[in-house]
Structure 1
Amino acid sequence: MSDSPDRSGPMPFVVDAKVVARLADLAPDPMVAHARGRVIWANEAAVTMLGFSEHADVMGRPVMDFVAPESRVVVADRVRRMLSDGDREPLVPEVFLARDGRRIEVEVSAAPIGEVVLVVGRDVTRRNQAERDRLAAATRFRVFFEAAGEPMCIARVGIVLEANPAFVALVGYDRVEEVRGLHLLSVISEEDRGAIAAFIEDPAGPLEARDRELVRVARRGGEERVVELRLNGYTEDDERYVAAVLRDVTAERAAEERLKQSERLEAVGRLAAGVAHDFNNILAGVLGFAELAMHEAQPGSDLRDTQVHIRDAALRARNLVQQILTVGRQSRTSPRPVDVAAIVREALGLARASLSADVQLDVDLDPTPVVTLADPTELHQVVMNLVTNARDALQHRGGRIRVTAGVGGPPSEPAAARSERWVQLSVTDDGEGMDEHTRARLFEPYMTTKRARGGHGLGLAVVHGIVSELGGVIEVDSALGRGTTFRVFLPEAAGVPTVAEAPAPRVHDGAGERVLLLDDDPTTLLVHRRLLTSLGYTVDAFGDPELALARVEEAARGYDLVITDQNMPFMSGVELAARVIARWPGTPVLVCSGLGESIEGTAAELGALSGLLQKPLTREALAQAVQSALEIADQRP
Structure 2
Amino acid sequence: LGFIKLLLGLRPEQELLVPAGLLSETDREEVDALLASVIEQSMEGIILFDSDGTIKYVNPAIRTITGHAPQEIIGQNISALEGAEVTGQFYRSIWDALSRGDERSGHFIQAGKGGEFYEIDATLWSILDSSGAVSNQAVLIRDVTHEVHLERQLRQAQRMEAIATLAGGIAHDFNNNLASIITCTEMARDDVPPESPLRELLDVVLKSSYRGRKLVKQILTFCCQGEQERQPVQVEPIINECLNLMRASFPTSISVHLHVEEKPGLIMADPTQIHQIIMNLITNAGHAMRIKGGTLDLSIENVGLDTAAVSGALDLPSGRYLKLTVKDTGHGMDASTMERIFDPFFTTKGHTEGTGLGLSVVHGIVRNHGGIITVSSKPGAGATFEIFLPRIEQAQQDQAKESPAPLPKGNERILFVDDEQDVVFAGKLMLERLGYQVVVGSDGLEALGIFREQPEAFDLVITDQTMPRMTGTELTRELMLIRPGIPVILCTGLGPMAEKALREEQDLAGIREIAMKPLDREEMAGIIRRVLSKSEEEQSVYGKDTDHR
Report TM bin, short chain: 0.5 to 0.7
Partner of 2:119: 226
Partner of 1:587: 486
* C-alpha distance 166-481 of structure 1, shift in aligned 2 (>3 A): farther
8 Å contact from structure 1 (residues 189, 215) kept in 2: no
Partner of 1:555: 454
8 Å contact from structure 2 (residues 39, 59) kept in 1: yes
* CA distance in structure 1 between the aligned counterparts of 2:79 and 2:518, rounded to whole angstroms: 60
Partner of 2:411: 512
1:533 is the counterpart of 2:426: no
1:303 is the counterpart of 2:303: no
Counting only pairs closer than 5 Å after superposition, residues 546-625 of structure 1 correspond to structure 2 as 546-555=445-454, 557=456, 559-596=458-495, 597-598=498-499, 599-600=501-502, 603=505, 605=507, 608-625=510-527
Shift of 1:532: 0.8
Counting only pairs closer than 5 Å after superposition, residues 405-420 of structure 1 correspond to structure 2 as none
Deviations 1:480-536 (A, max 9, x none): 9699999xxxxxxxxxxxx99988962434131222211111211111000111112
Counting only pairs closer than 5 Å after superposition, residues 337-486 of structure 1 correspond to structure 2 as 385-386=276-277, 388-395=279-286, 396=289, 431-432=332-333, 449=353, 460=358, 463=361
Unaligned runs of 5+ in 1: 1-124, 362-375, 409-426, 451-456, 471-476, 487-498
Shift of 1:381: 5.3
Shift of 1:584: 3.8
Equivalent AA in structure 2 for residue 225 of structure 1 = Y
Unaligned runs of 5+ in 2: 1-18, 244-254, 261-267, 299-310, 318-325, 369-374, 386-395, 542-549
Counting only pairs closer than 5 Å after superposition, residues 101-500 of structure 1 correspond to structure 2 as 138-155=32-49, 161-172=56-67, 190-198=84-92, 200=94, 205-220=99-114, 222-234=115-127, 241-326=136-221, 328-329=223-224, 333=226, 385-386=276-277, 388-395=279-286, 396=289, 431-432=332-333, 449=353, 460=358, 463=361
* C-alpha distance 398-183 of structure 1, shift in aligned 2 (>3 A): farther
Equivalent AA in structure 2 for residue 572 of structure 1 = T
Shift of 1:250: 1.6
1:628 is the counterpart of 2:521: no
8 Å contact from structure 2 (residues 332, 383) kept in 1: yes
TM-score by length of 1: 0.55
8 Å contact from structure 1 (residues 234, 242) kept in 2: yes
SS of match in other structure, 2:37: helix
8 Å contact from structure 2 (residues 415, 439) kept in 1: yes
Shift of 1:441: 5.5
**Bigger helix share:** 2
8 Å contact from structure 2 (residues 97, 103) kept in 1: no
* CA distance in structure 2 between the aligned counterparts of 1:621 and 1:248, rounded to whole angstroms: 56
8 Å contact from structure 1 (residues 515, 560) kept in 2: yes
Deviations 1:315-366 (A, max 9, x none): 344344434434543xx74589x9xxxx9x97977777668878999xxxxx
* C-alpha distance 515-202 of structure 1, shift in aligned 2 (>3 A): closer
Equivalent AA in structure 2 for residue 298 of structure 1 = P
SS of match in other structure, 1:311: helix
* CA distance in structure 2 between the aligned counterparts of 1:210 and 1:576, rounded to whole angstroms: 65
Shift of 1:145: 0.6
Greater mean deviation of Cα atoms: 128-137 or 203-212: 128-137
Shift of 1:273: 3.1
* C-alpha distance 200-531 of structure 1, shift in aligned 2 (>3 A): same
* CA distance in structure 2 between the aligned counterparts of 1:542 and 1:462, rounded to whole angstroms: 46
Greater mean deviation of Cα atoms: 615-624 or 390-399: 390-399
* C-alpha distance 570-138 of structure 1, shift in aligned 2 (>3 A): same
* C-alpha distance 485-555 of structure 1, shift in aligned 2 (>3 A): farther
TM-score by length of 2: 0.62
* CA distance in structure 1 between the aligned counterparts of 2:227 and 2:280, rounded to whole angstroms: 26
Deviations 1:12-49 (A, max 9, x none): xxxxxxxxxxxxxxxxxxxxxxxxxxxxxxxxxxxxxx
8 Å contact from structure 1 (residues 594, 616) kept in 2: yes
* CA distance in structure 1 between the aligned counterparts of 2:482 and 2:239, rounded to whole angstroms: 55
* C-alpha distance 603-179 of structure 1, shift in aligned 2 (>3 A): same
8 Å contact from structure 2 (residues 296, 327) kept in 1: no
SS of match in other structure, 1:551: helix
* CA distance in structure 2 between the aligned counterparts of 1:199 and 1:549, rounded to whole angstroms: 72
* CA distance in structure 2 between the aligned counterparts of 1:245 and 1:485, rounded to whole angstroms: 46
Equivalent AA in structure 2 for residue 170 of structure 1 = I
8 Å contact from structure 1 (residues 160, 184) kept in 2: yes
* CA distance in structure 1 between the aligned counterparts of 2:444 and 2:205, rounded to whole angstroms: 32
Deviations 1:383-409 (A, max 9, x none): 65355434432333569998969699x
Deviations 1:258-313 (A, max 9, x none): 22223333333333333332333233222222222111111121333333333334
Shift of 1:619: 2.0
Partner of 1:420: none
SS of match in other structure, 1:205: helix
Partner of 2:264: none
8 Å contact from structure 2 (residues 86, 111) kept in 1: no
Shift of 1:607: 7.7
8 Å contact from structure 1 (residues 227, 246) kept in 2: yes
Shift of 1:248: 1.7
Shift of 1:211: 1.8
* CA distance in structure 1 between the aligned counterparts of 2:357 and 2:419, rounded to whole angstroms: 33
8 Å contact from structure 1 (residues 217, 227) kept in 2: no
- Paired positions, count: 439
* C-alpha distance 304-548 of structure 1, shift in aligned 2 (>3 A): same
8 Å contact from structure 2 (residues 460, 532) kept in 1: yes
Equivalent AA in structure 1 for residue 429 of structure 2 = R
Equivalent AA in structure 1 for residue 117 of structure 2 = E
* CA distance in structure 2 between the aligned counterparts of 1:556 and 1:231, rounded to whole angstroms: 81
Give the number of the structure with larger relative contact order, counting CA–CA contacts within 8 Å between residues 6 or more apart.
2
SS of match in other structure, 2:469: coil
Shift of 1:563: 0.8
* CA distance in structure 2 between the aligned counterparts of 1:632 and 1:183, rounded to whole angstroms: 86
* CA distance in structure 1 between the aligned counterparts of 2:93 and 2:356, rounded to whole angstroms: 45
* CA distance in structure 1 between the aligned counterparts of 2:187 and 2:406, rounded to whole angstroms: 16
Deviations 1:536-569 (A, max 9, x none): 2111111132332333334363533221000112
